[in-house]
Structure 1
Amino acid sequence: MLPSSLAAGVGDPPPIPAARLRPTDAPVRPLLLWVRTGTARVRLDGGPELRLEAGEGAWIPADGRAERAIVTEPGTVAFPLWSHARLGAPGPSELTRFDVPGAWQDWLIQLFNLQVTPFNGHGYSHEAIEELLRRPGTRPPESAEAGRDPGPAGFTSPTMPYAPGARAVADELMRDPALDLTVEQWAVRVLSSARTLRRDFLADTGLTFEQWRLLCRLGAAVELLAADYDVDQVAARVGFASRNGLTRAFKGRFGVTPHEFGRELSARPGGRGLTQRAAAARQTDDLIRMVRRTDTPAAPEMLPAASTPSHTNDIHVLSWMYRGSGYLDIGDRRYERERGVATWIPAEREHVTGLRENSVSLPLGNASPGDLRLTEPLQVRFSPAWDDYLMSCSISARSGLRPDDHDPRHVLDLFAEQVAAQRALSVPMPTSPRARAVAMECLRRIGEPGGTYTIDVGAEIHRAFRDETGMTLGRWRYAARMRVARDLLAGGAPPSAVARRTGYAHLPTFSAAFSRFHGLSPRDYQQRESERNQ
């Protein structure tokens, strides 16, 4: 188990703000929008408005000429699921409403997770999704309504760029290689310039933007051909205007045509198989049929287990267990993850994240090493009352459906106390295992009124603190509380809130303790830090 520095999510969550999907944040491809709670409104090119309530979904067709207007009202959690209509059966050509059975809802939440993270859920297959797609009651809006195969010649994916803007572009193209935006259009989306994007792609990967995108598309083509899509479907899916264009590029890179590669793959022992990308393509491809079936399906009996490949991130990633349990493996250590637990996964640490059967997780956001100093996982437990709010955080972080004033760094506010407690580890720590365990327990209970002083320890623990930290246990606890208080004040928390968060029942008592330790009152310290940061 990971130690939880301080409790979180025990009170009421913040209100869920209204959100909208802007045209610049919405790739021109079909979208399935499912409303879990609240109300959403959808309109295409000024046409009739489709109003969706909880438990309803909408098929929104792809049309580069039509402007999509998608707005959610305050308190709404709506999941956007991008679909690839050019594979398999074509989707409806008009905005269409459908009903989502309650038993399928957690399955759709996990599908969103699989689309926006490196998780590979093998059970999310063609057959499983096809059941969901046999849904009755589809109707257009009325006029009155407002295991990766490296492929030929050992092909591997192109190197990912490190610069933030270029990395954001690369991540989106890896999810959907068919996106056909110019460098100038990409620059607008990631708040950069075309010149900077071109420079960063070349500096970080050794490839021009166009060369990188071509390799990205060919890598996706390899995976889809291995999943038994025909050449015409693959060409459309990965962004080639024609079958001939894909064939020329494929043969130029690999020395064989796509058709020859598919035939060769079929002859291999074990035949074809679904990679993560191909499985996701099957899933989103089959979602199109949801609005075309007439019989009511049974929900899957269980959600399959899922895991990520071993990988590292150049940023800290925050992952939350909504349902069931999972684990985080770093080196030879396994950290268990239980329902309601959110975990910061530190940057630059190779790791594997896994989910057990009937478990669902969601990414809540990222933090740069400059915003959060973290070398080991940091964990917090949220109560079920926070579920909808945390889902809205995930949707805002990993899709274009977000509030107008969305700040990606707001997830750090949810962990203000935990981050402060983590930084309190800069106070000299005892080295002996038993004394260190007492120190960690003090940090966990630092927000309880008088809680850090009710830990009963023996004489050997007191002696270890004196010998190993140069402080008595009481003085060490005082220093740790003051370190947490200092970070919270520097982050803008009012002194009265800091007093409560560090276990002081009364503000005057806290102010006197802070002033003795730092030589400044809490307000004077906060003002000084604010002036330094201006």
Structure 2
Amino acid sequence: MVVPSSFAAGVGDPPPIPAARLGSADAPVRPLLLWVRTGEARVRLAGGPALRLGAGEGAWVPADGWAEREIVTEPGTVAFPLWPHAGSGARGLSEPARFDVPTGWQDWLIQLFNLQVTPFSGHGYAPEAIEELLRRPGSRPPVPVGAGRNPGPEGFASPVMPRAPGARAVAEELMRDPALDLTVEQWAARVLSSARTLRRDFLADTGLTFEQWRLLCRLGAAVEFLAAGYDVDQVAVRVGFASRNGLTRAFKGRFGLTPHEFGRRSAARPGAGGLTRRAAAARQTDDLIRMMRRTDTPAAPAMLPPASTPSHTNDIHVLSWMYRGSGYLDIGDRRYERERGVATWIPAEREHVTGLRENSVSLPLGNASTGDLRLTEPLQVRFSPAWDDYLMFCSVSARSGLRPDDHDPRHILGLFAEQVAAQRALSVPMPTDPRARAVALECLRRIGEPGGTQPVDAGAEIHRAFRDETGMTLGRWRYAARMRIARDLLAGGAQPSAVARRTGYAHLPTFSAAFSRFHGLSPRDYQQRESEGRNP
């Protein structure tokens, strides 16, 4: 089902944001830029003092600085971990550093996190493009990214991507960052596979061994960097070769000329096709490292570019939230609009395209399996701006290692269901008298709290307004609202015992009796009927 865009804004207050941590075992082998949006975080360094960061501050940690280190955030903190290219800082900032993040860059960073953890892509962004954050004023801007062209030797193409999930995850990581230097065994552990399976899947799906595939990936990146004007030593480091000689041998064996010769030819054809996104991002990386050593304040981006995903399917339901601006979800020939504050469950196994318009920002909030949520069409709900920080925290927890020790991935499913149910409860006739309406909204807010089923202490004029304007007494109105919420939670797959707690009943039998009186059938019978109706 699709909830129309005119439904009321989020009901209730968000939960408190708990503390979180990220250890070195949970972090990619890359440099880290940690930005604190609100609250306070500490980056603990092995054998040294902790970097303490407040709101608006960032910290840089080099790729080789993660051993026995961790990030710890205080309750109420929203912090975004961003992972540049593994070669970033190799010739620049090699020590941990703290710096200020200008206010105008905040939404750009939030969207950059989204682009790192989703299939979105857009000009002006890249997983390595954190550098643009602190560009030195007056420095040379990157050349626009060439559209659909690789500035490489004639006939060069990226290696075929494997189809098996584990091998594809490894391939995608290496395409983003070819300098990552993990063994097959280490890669297998990261994707919950075995080295034997990983090797077999690469060979079966691409016709190349893992080592052959990685070499082509690195040579493709080398072509881009050489065409962008980087020298051979710099390129060797950026794409994962241990030495200049190693790159030269592999490059000449593949293309018949040395990296130096190719770079010289590229320099003789300036502007031919512009830079690829990866090369433009690398140039921006250099600007960031230089800028972090200065005190200048860079200008914020004039706008956030639009972005979109390729047409694709997911094997799980994905919840995506519009933090700023607007976007769309295309499934088949139907377009679902996505407005500010709207969170949308994108159903599994449905081919779709998700897009963001100019100056718009979205974030993924979490996933749900097809067993946890029965869904064939998008389902939407609107959260009020009061939820912004909490939902950002949910996104970071869902898509990075920075999360609470007791993180429950299914938490967002219950949160969404409660919000949908609470908003649908507003379809119960609402009084128009301002004082009576305030009492009604407070009743909705308190549903599920201890004592939430107790009679409300209200004056005679409030009770009169409920009778005159809704046709129900205040007590009957609360009962109807509670049963409407219970009905929607059950239809969403929640267990009756959980629904009882969420609607303020201390005991399941008491809730079951109340539900049966109102709906004419038990909670389990109602749930079974709804399930059969969706799956005839």
For normalisation by structure 2, the TM-score amounts to 0.72
Is 408-417 or 359-368 further displaced after alignment? 408-417
Q: Which residue of 2 aligns with 1:133?
A: 135
Which residue matches 1:512? 517
Residue 245 of structure 1 corresponds to which residue in structure 2? 246
Amino acid in the other structure paired with 1:156: S
After superposition, the Cα gap between the structure-2 partners of 1:334 and 1:50, relative to the gap in structure 1 and judged at 3 Å, is same
CA contact (8 A) 1:115 1:280 kept: no
Asked if 1:415 corresponds to 2:444, the answer is no
Deviation of 1:391 (Å): 1.2
- Aligned 8 A contact 2:105 2:133 in 1: no
Amino acid at match of 1:92: L
1:281 maps to what in 2?
Answer: 282
Q: Judge conservation of contact 1:7–1:380 (CA < 8 Å) in 2.
A: no
Cα drift, residue 82 of structure 1: 1.8
1:85-135 deviation line (CA, Å, top 9, x unaligned): 745883333322111122221122222223333333323599996573349
Match of 2:381 in 1: 380
1:240 Cα offset (Å): 1.8
Alpha carbons 1:122, 1:279 under 8 Å: kept: no
TM alignment of 1:120-269, pairs within 5 A: 120-124=121-125, 132-134=134-136, 147-149=147-149, 152-153=154-155, 155-163=157-165, 165-254=166-255, 257-259=258-260, 262=263
Q: Shift in Å at residue 185 of structure 1?
A: 2.2
Q: Give the gaps of 5 or more residues in structure 2.
A: 138-146, 431-482, 506-510, 529-536
Which whole-Å CA distance do the structure 1 matches of 2:75 and 2:412 have between them?
19
Contact 1:364–1:397 (Cα < 8 Å) also in 2: yes
Q: In structure 2, do the counterparts of structure 1 residues 117 and 217 end up closer, same or farther at CA, with 3 Å as the change threshold?
A: farther
Equivalent residues of 2:22, 2:70 under 8 A apart: yes
Q: Which AA in structure 2 matches 1:493? A: A
Q: How far is the alpha carbon of 1:77 from its aligned partner?
A: 1.0
TM-superposed CA distance for 1:37, in Å, is: 0.7
1:393-472 maps to which residues of 2 (within 5 A)? 393-416=394-417, 446-448=424-426, 450=428
Q: Cα 1:274–1:17, aligned 2, differ >3 Å: closer, same or farther?
A: farther
Aligned partner of 2:3 in structure 1 is: 3
Aligned residue for 1:497? 502
SS at match of 1:237: helix
Moved more, 385-394 or 233-242: 233-242
1:322 partner amino acid: Y
How far, CA to CA, are the matches of 2:76 and 2:66 in structure 1?
Answer: 31
Q: Is the 8 A contact 1:515 1:521 kept in 2?
A: no
Cα distance in 2, alignment partners of residues 293 and 107 from structure 1? 21
Q: Deviations over 1:190-219 (max 9, x none)?
A: 444434434444455554433343343334
Any residues of structure 2 matched to 1:296-335 within 5 Å, and which? 296-335=297-336
Secondary structure at the residue paired with 1:516?
Answer: coil
Residue 390 (1) aligns with residue 403 (2): no
Deviation at 1:389, TM superposition (A): 1.5
The corresponding residue for 2:490 is 485
Normalising by structure 1, report the TM-score.
0.72
The one-letter code sitting in structure 2 at the alignment partner of 1:307 is S
Shift of 1:78: 1.0
Contact 1:512 1:521 survives alignment (8 Å): no
Provide closer, same or farther for how the CA distance between residues 374 and 507 of structure 1 changes in structure 2, counting only shifts above 3 A. Answer: closer
Query: Is 1:55 matched with 2:60?
Result: no
1 CA distance for matches of 2:260 and 2:368? Answer: 44
Give the distance between the partners of 2:256 and 2:331, measured in 1 at CA. 40
Extract unaligned runs of 5+ from structure 1: 136-146, 422-443, 453-477, 501-505, 526-534
Say if 1:326 and 1:11 are closer, same or farther in 2 by CA, change over 3 A.
Answer: same
Number of equivalences: 459
Let me know the Cα RMSD of the aligned residues. Answer: 4.1
Partner SS state of residue 41, structure 2: strand
SS of match in other structure, 2:181: coil
Which structure 2 residues correspond to residues 71-82 of structure 1 after superposition, within 5 A?
71-82=72-83
The SS at the match of 2:521 is: helix
Taking the aligned partners of 2:352 and 2:261, their CA distance within structure 1 comes to 37
- Distance verdict in 2 for CA 1:521–1:361, change over 3 Å: closer
Q: Contact 2:326 / 2:357 at 8 angstroms: preserved in 1?
A: yes
Corresponding position of 1:112: 113
Secondary structure of the residue that 2:425 maps to in structure 1? coil
Following superposition, the deviation at residue 446 of structure 1 comes to: 4.8
Change over 3 Å in CA distance of 1:257–1:367 after alignment to 2? farther
- Report the alpha carbon displacement of residue 418 of structure 1 after superposing the two structures with TM: 8.4
Change (3 A) 1:304 1:200: same
Contact 2:314/2:349 (<8 A) preserved:
yes
Query: Which residue of structure 2 lines up, in the alignment, with residue 470 of structure 1?
Result: none
Within 1, Cα distance between the matches of 2:36 and 2:484? Answer: 48
Cα distance, 1:408–1:378 mapped onto 2, change above 3 Å: same
